[in-house]
Amino acid sequence: MVLAKDVSFNCKSCNNFLLVKSNRTDLLVCDRCQDLYRTLYATIHPEGKSYVPEDLTLLQLETTGVFGDKMFRIIGRKRLQLEGGFYRNDWFLMFNDNSTGWLYESLGSYTIAADKFEPLNYDQVKNIEVAHQFTLPVSGKTYYVERMEKVKNVEFEGELPFDWDFKKQGLIIETIDENNDVCFFELIGKTQALYTEGQRVQFEHINFLNTREANEWKY
């Protein structure tokens, strides 16, 4: 169960004022002390802390941009630390019409997708291989498998929606077709498969504002 938009409360550890921006939110991280809060039956419960490590991303909370005819701002991040030493940033977006979506930042590429993951039969995707084609059973659309990585750790910042426990996440798969449409899969354990479809975009076409300073020597 999510919290209503514009609900506010004070962090129990540092008394920092926290305001819920989206009516899709059920996870919130204090920006001062990194306490993590989850919602349960419309009440707020602390669940430890979440520390997002520094990386080379140019994006951050409150970065704004434009996609199509809508403006958005970043209000949350899920950072996946991958087993091979790489990472992926999943940025939660809130558009100016109060709808929400995701911006996936992966190895220098950017994909914008709807705020919706659909279930898929695990047996239909468990044998996907990198550098091979895969046809999405529900639509018949064919994608090329670019990447498959095991998730080592997940951290959060800002506010995010969740319908399951990402800490149990086991594998991400990224695929693309000839039109730059992208399909992301998330395999949780060895029983649950979810997917979402989006569009790959160029950084310079999104008109980002309030980005971080590029400084590769900092890290």
How do residues 65-94 score in pLDDT, each as one tens digit?
999 999 999 999 999 999 888 999 999 999
- Whether residue 56 is contained in a domain is answered as no
H helices, E strands: number in the chain: 0, 16
Q: Is the CA virtual torsion 57, 58, 64, 66 positive or negative? A: negative
- Whether residue 12 is contained in a domain is answered as yes
Domain that holds residue 31: 8-49
Query: Which residue type, as a one-letter code, is found at position 30?
Result: C
Q: Per mean pLDDT, which range of 32-41, 44-53, 82-91, 133-142 is the poorest? A: 32-41
- pLDDT for the residue 215: 60
Please state the pTM of the whole predicted model: 0.91
Residues 25 and 70 in one domain: no
Band of residue 2 on the pLDDT scale cut at 50, 70, 90 = low
pLDDT at 217 over 50: no
Contact 71, 96 (CB under 8 A): yes
The average confidence (pLDDT) of the chain is 88
Band of residue 127 on the pLDDT scale cut at 50, 70, 90 = confident
Residues 139 and 72 in one domain: yes
> CA-to-CA distance for 118 and 67, rounded, in angstroms?
22
